[in-house]
Amino acid sequence: MFKWLLLLAGAYLFYRWLKGKKQIQAGRGEAHNPRPNKAPKAIEPEGMVQCQHCKVHLPKSEAKIFEERFYCSKEHLNAIDQQGWVGSAKWRPSPNQDVRPENISPDLVVIHHISLPPSEFRSTNSSQYIIDFFQNQLDSTAHPYFEEIAGQKVSSHFLITRTGELIQFVSTQNKAWHAGVSSFMGREKCNDFSIGIELEGDGETPFEEAQYQALNKLIPILEACYANLQFAGHSDIAPDRKTDPGMYFDWKKFQKETNVSLKNLPYGLTSR
Ligand SMILES: [Zn+2]
Ligand SMILES: [Zn+2]
């Protein structure tokens, strides 16, 4: 009889132990997988998002989505927001920037070309090298040329890849480091008052139609934000040092398609 009682007590203790263990596990499970309908629901009703541009709240199903950012309309997606970022560009912030002089907003756009390694822009990797370079993350062991340039601290506001993809590195409100020693119509230090656009290319190959199309989309976005922008090539403002965007940038086509006023192209439309 005593043995039976001992056995029963033993079984009961085992049962309690097992139950306790299960509760601990359940508790842990909850800690690792917090139910999503708890805290966030109080802040933002489920399925609602905020427009990056105007901050209006709207159902996620109605929002335009780009790189996990939300916009209430096509107009706000294709515009410069209050922080100086274009909604429809990929954002890859560069540390190579600083503030513009006080009360200066950009009135010049400088067109460049770049390719890394030089002229090797047909592989998908090449655009990523430019992004890495502007973000100070270029792997100097990936190509002999990279060893020479890996320490340079440069950037541009925008890059347009061979496929016409638009990438932004610096807010248009800030100064990107693209022009270097330069002079535009007697005004020096062009970085202070310009926006830099790099076209992926090498000066020996025509630019792609997709790149002109991306430019044609970007220029009105910039003009809507900054009145009376003028346009120049890097070689126009630093003729002793630079040749980009080069002979293959078609200024006539650019002017015709963007409808930029001729007076805002002070170096003319000839290839150079
Ligand atoms: Zn909006
Ligand atoms: Zn340049």
Q: DSSP of 4-52, one letter per residue?
A: HHHHHHHHHHHHHHHHHHHHHHHHHHHHHS--TTSHHHHHS-TTEEE-T
* Cα–ligand 1 centroid distance for 12 (angstroms): 64
Greatest pairwise CA separation for the chain in angstroms = 110
Alpha helices in 150-268 (DSSP H): 209-225, 234-237, 251-258
CA angle 41, 45, 47 (to 5 degrees): 110
DSSP characters over 222-233: HHHHSTT-EEEE
pLDDT of residue 28: 44
Give φ, ψ of 70 to 5 degrees: -115, 145
Pairing of strands 166-168, 158-160: antiparallel
> Which of these is catalytic: 62, 67, 120, 198?
198
First to last CA, the chain: 108
Cα distances from 196 to residues 5, 87, 102, 158, 248, in angstroms, run: 87, 17, 19, 6, 18
Pairing of strands 108-114, 230-233: parallel
Contact between 129 and 117 under an 8 Å Cβ cutoff? The reply is: yes
According to DSSP, the residues that pair with 181 across neighbouring strands are none
* Tokens found for residue 116: 């890394």
pLDDT of residue 26: 44
Contact between 114 and 200 under an 8 Å Cβ cutoff? The reply is: yes
Q: Is 46 a catalytic residue?
A: no
* Tokens found for residue 68: 């996990």
Q: Which residue, chain included where needed, has tokens 């905020």?
A: 50
pTM: 0.83
Neighbours of ion ligand 1 (CB under 5 A): 51, 53-54, 72, 76
Neighbours of ion ligand 2 (CB under 5 A): 112, 234, 244
How far apart CA 77 and CA 65 sit, in angstroms, is 8
Beta carbons within 10 angstroms of residue 51's beta carbon: 20
Ordered structural domains, the chain, with CATH: 46-77 (3.30.60), 89-264 (3.40.80.10)
Q: Which ligand is nearest to the CA of 82?
A: 1
DSSP state of 79: S
* Cα–ligand 1 centroid distance for 134 (angstroms): 29
194-200 β-sheet, strand order: 90-91, 166-168, 158-160, 194-200, 108-114, 230-233
* Cα–ligand 1 centroid distance for 87 (angstroms): 10
* Tokens found for residue 11: 């079984």
pLDDT (tens place) for every residue of the chain, 272 residues total: 555 545 545 555 445 544 544 444 444 444 444 444 444 545 566 799 999 999 999 999 999 999 999 999 999 999 999 999 999 999 999 999 999 999 999 999 999 999 999 988 876 678 999 999 999 999 999 999 999 998 999 999 999 999 999 999 999 999 999 999 999 999 999 999 999 999 999 999 999 999 999 999 999 999 999 999 999 999 999 999 999 999 999 999 999 999 999 999 999 999 99
